[in-house]
Amino acid sequence: MDDIVFIGDWVKDRILGSGSFGTVVLWKHKYTEEKLAIKTCKWGSELTAKHKERWTKEVEMLQCCNNPNIVGTKKLPPEFILGLERANPSKLPILCMEYCSGGDLRQVLNKPDACGGLKENQVRQILSDIRNAMQFLHTNKITHRDLKPENIVLHTSDSSNKSEDIQGQRKVSYKLIDLGYAKEIDSNSICGSFVGTLQYLAPEIFYSKTYSNSVDFWSFGLLAFEIICGIRPFLPYLAPVQWMPHVKKKSHEHICVFETFYEDVEYSSEIFPENRISKPFKILMEKWLQVALEWDPKMRGRDAPSKVTFNLPSEQKEAASKVVIFDLLESILAKKIIKVFSVTTLSHLAYEINDSTTVEMLKLWINNDIKIPVQEQIIISVATYIVIGNEDQVVKYWNENNAPMLYVYGKKSIVDDNIEPIVPIAVRRCLEHPKALYNYKNSQNLYRNGFYFVLSQMEIYDCLINGLFARAESLKHESKQLIVKHNSVDKDMGKLLAKKEIIMKTTALGKKHIEHLKENSIGTNFLGGFEKIFKEVDDQIDKIDKLQCAWSQLSIRLQSAARRSNEAISTDLNNFVTKYNFQTIFTNALKSYNSFKKSDFYFENKSKDIKTQFYNVSDIVRSSYDCLKLRSKIVMEMQNQTFIQKLKDLSVELSKISEIVINAAETTEKLSSCLETLIDELTNCMWSTISLVIRDADHISELPYSVVSFQKRDFKVGEPVSNHITLPNKVEDVQLKSLIQESLKIRKYQTSLCEKLNSQQMSLQKSVYDFSFLDGE
């Protein structure tokens, strides 16, 4: 009764729905804000015993169905029994249910942005929830018989721990309602009543007096196709009695039957290309739809629908008739698909992955699709804005709520300038013949595809702008990482220069003493090995000086690159988007689409045959043309933007600096190792000379500065070399002492320099270099 507004502390909010038998009203508690959906039977004595049984059965079933994806029942507050007495003339049980605030799925599909189907994460959620609900019913031997978008409601979580999706909205779950047609069946029973919404009814309901729970498989398949494409698969502009004879002729592989522009009926094994799901998921769902939309109910939903199952032994029959539709869908939904947006080619890419899929493997797949060589690909995570390495695991970047999950760029080009858009066939035709008139069916397709085209180009443009921003952020991160690497190499460079200083002083002192010995012709026979070491030291010092000079220049380059990377391009991007955007085109296309949708009822109820009527579609043709023209202009103008050149130049510059830093680190390590080796050689040479002099001090005579030649045969193992030297005169004790003293001085100075080196190394380890100047403007 419309006049019943208040019942105790409850206030009538609004009518949620009204069917052939019952009315559902939303009631709200004025203190607790609790909401209840209460369903009452609106008929009284007119009801037959069968109708009363059906109503009672629904209440009992819902009360027994404890499943998160079937609308739950609640205990009816006692005040409603008396308060709704006048609104319940039949005296049948009143059904009290939880309130699902999101409306029903039909309302979602009627929105303009669903003209090309729903987004993949939403499709996955719906399929998962309805699969769970339907499997629960069938496990409990209940067939729904009226599965359709109107009987699926959206429940939004209102808990304190709000689970938010990528758009910042609370998590939505989907629930089945209206079990008024549901009936309990066992494995051998059949139903004999003609029920359900005509467009979603299985063929056997029209062609046979009996049917089983496989009718739900058919309805589920139709529902799945519609949420993916935004339209039903089988001649959606015709009544069931008209399209079913055509569908009956389809083979197992065919999942849709459609009428061409020239009114020919065609069959297809693929989902319509105007959709918003990824290619891998599309292929998987096409296989599942073949199982769900099998014409023969005895084969539908089973593991071998294309095989003939009659006249087989019972064991083989059982094996061939296993129901797999729910398990198959569950396995499909469990698969992980990584979604990539190619900024360079303005294209969406997607690939099925597992835990062992590496980035290098992903790059090979990308190369096959868009022909960017593996070595020229840059892949960036949407979540972190970091360039990921080839050995990284792709699964780390998978997120079912993100689309895309990764961006890919070419090193040679940020955005290509010769990218052809993907234009629906209906839109291409209208652009080729802009003044043509369309009949009702073709105009339906054109408006749907035209608005879908505008939406898809807007999504690509959003991904492009976000991808450019992500690249700018990744270059900031690269410059910071390069600074860290630079600082690390710079410390090693400081240690190398300290070693260079020590060995330079050591060799300078050594050269001075040797020159003194040469001038006085003292002990020069033993000093020939030092010349080779001094020459090698000079060569290494020359290399270090060149490295130091190059390193100083690199530091300046890195400082400049870091400053440029911190110069935000967001302002330039925002200015570009302000100047070039699809907002006006979208507004016009939306207006045209809504206007046409409002005229649907008028078209469908004309007294004349609607196929003979032709309509002007110039508004959607104009929107499609403007969209295509703007897209081309954006791609062309993008090439001349300073932020694009800045990103490209900075990418190349940081790549070169990174290579130089790596080479410098390797060179520093090599030179440091060479200096240590030379220091060891110099030390060994000095002590060998001292040992030789001390050992033969009593027999050494003064020799000219030359290398004495010895014959091999004159040597005996174990004998000193001096035994085979003919000494013209006995060395004076004073000269010997002078040579030993000079050697000891060199050794003492060497020890002092080593201590100084160790002290400088400890100081370097404790030092903290301030590279804050690199962050300056």
* Sheet strands (E) in 30-171: 35-41, 95-98, 142-143, 152-156
Percent of the chain surpassing pLDDT 70: 81
Q: Which residue has the higher pLDDT, 659 or 59?
A: 659
Q: DSSP secondary structure string, 540-557?
A: HHHHHHHHHHHHHHHHHH
Model confidence band, residue 728 (pLDDT cutoffs 50, 70, 90):
very low
pLDDT score, position 232:
95
Does residue 416 carry a pLDDT above 70?
A: yes
CA 776 – CA 635 distance, rounded (Å)? 34
Does residue 206 carry a pLDDT above 50?
A: yes
CA 88 – CA 659 distance, rounded (Å)? 82
Q: How wide is the angle at C-alpha 482 spanned by C-alphas 479 and 485, nearest 5°? A: 160
pLDDT score, position 611:
52
Stretch 760-770: mean pLDDT, rounded?
60
Extract the tokens encoding 136: 């629960």
Model confidence band, residue 708 (pLDDT cutoffs 50, 70, 90):
very low
pLDDT score, position 729:
47
Model confidence band, residue 512 (pLDDT cutoffs 50, 70, 90):
confident
**CB-side neighbour CA atoms (13 Å) of 754:** 11
Percent of the chain surpassing pLDDT 90: 45
The CATH number of the domain covering residues in 100-332: 1.10.510.10
> Are 735 and 742 within 8 A, CB to CB?
no
Amino acid making up residue 474: S
pLDDT score, position 709:
36
Same fold, 1-99 and 100-332: no
Closest to 54 measured CA to CA, from 81, 90, 78, 86: 90
Express each pLDDT in 376-407 by its tens digit.
999 999 989 999 999 999 999 999 888 899 99
CA 536 – CA 525 distance, rounded (Å)? 21
Does residue 190 carry a pLDDT above 60?
A: no
266, 267, 271, 274 alpha-carbon torsion, rounded to 10°: 0
Does residue 506 carry a pLDDT above 80?
A: yes
Express each pLDDT in 683-696 by its tens digit.
887 777 777 666 65
CA 349 – CA 340 distance, rounded (Å)? 5
Model confidence band, residue 154 (pLDDT cutoffs 50, 70, 90):
very high
Does residue 528 carry a pLDDT above 90?
A: no
Q: Where are the domains of the chain?
A: 1-99, 100-332, 474-571+645-695+732-775
Stretch 771-776: mean pLDDT, rounded?
47
Set 9, 104, 113, 146: catalytic member: 146
pLDDT score, position 607:
45
Ramachandran class of 775: left when φ > 0, alpha when ψ lies in -120 to 50, beta otherwise: alpha
Average pLDDT, the chain: 82
Does residue 185 carry a pLDDT above 50?
A: no
Amino acid making up residue 569: I
Residue 459: CB atoms within 10 A of its CB come to 16
Residue 146 is a catalytic residue: yes
Stretch 570-598: mean pLDDT, rounded?
91
* Fold category of 1-99 in CATH: Phosphorylase Kinase; domain 1 (3.30.200)
Which residues are CB-neighbours of 564 under 8 A, at least 6 positions away?
646, 650
Q: Which residue has the higher pLDDT, 171 or 331?
A: 331
Model confidence band, residue 308 (pLDDT cutoffs 50, 70, 90):
very low
Q: Which residue has the higher pLDDT, 774 or 303?
A: 303
Helix, strand, coil shares, percent, the chain, to 5? 55, 10, 35
Does residue 432 carry a pLDDT above 60?
A: yes
